[in-house]
Structure 1
Amino acid sequence: MSCTHTPDFPPDVMTKLRTAASAEEFFTLLGVEYDPKVLNVARLHILKRMGEYLSGEDVEGLPDRVAAARCRSMLQRAYEEFVTSSPLEARVFKVLKTAVEPPKPPAFVPFDSLLK
């Protein structure tokens, strides 16, 4: 028989997550271990990716512990992505998505149309 351990979340963890002021607070509240070197490079990318993952989840109305466990899972998943790839490779933000797109050719305007 396998036993799954649910971490001990602080009381009102979801309320505390909504007011967290740093990535470190998210990791601490949800009990996710992290390497400060990874977090220093990719903190915004990790939290944005976590938000993307959570957008497919409905945690509103769930008991605090269940919602926190889902958030913890999504944060772990997002963090692991940036342990193995760089923010440029993962391209979370639009500026990075378009950073390496090939330039679009200039619009062609026939010379004859300028004379009319």
Structure 2
Amino acid sequence: MSKLLDQLGKFSDAEEFLVFLDVPFEPAVVQVNRLHILKRFSQYLARARLDELDEAAQRDSCRALMIQAYEDFVHSTAAQEKVFKVFQDADGQRVSLDSLRASLPSQRT
């Protein structure tokens, strides 16, 4: 594993990745979408062939992938991007408040 990827593996929140990779960001976007951004970044990294690159090229690639992951949620929503399984399974389905109320044990006769 490269030194860069080893260092990235020690980070735990989105802001650490963004700052380290020198990606400008709006805190409000990250606050709402931090897990989605990190998951998308992870998906992009999994497809990248970083091991074939030297350290400088790896850093440039990681920065570009983080920018792409961040931008996905600047221009879209978590529900539209469907990064996590819960959004993929929902597939646009909505449940009304009335149907939830009707399903309560206290509402059954």
Per the normalisation by structure 1, the TM-score is 0.71
Gaps of 5+ in 2: 94-109
Q: Of 56, 60, 78, which aligns to 1:65? A: 56
Residue number in structure 2 paired with 1:35? 26
**Runs of 4+ with >6 A deviation:** none
The CA deviation at 1:13 is 3.7
Sequence identity (%): 36
Gaps of 5+ in 1: 1-11, 103-116
Matched, 1:97 2:95: no
Cα RMSD (Å) of the superposition? 1.6
Name the larger-Rg structure. Answer: 1
Matched, 1:20 2:25: no
Per the normalisation by structure 2, the TM-score is 0.75
Quick check: which one's helix share is greater? 2
> How many aligned positions are there?
91
Secondary structure of 1:60's aligned partner: helix
Q: Deviations over 1:70-102 (max 9, x none)?
A: 111011011111001111111100111112366
Alpha-carbon distance in 1 for matches of 2:31, 2:58: 26
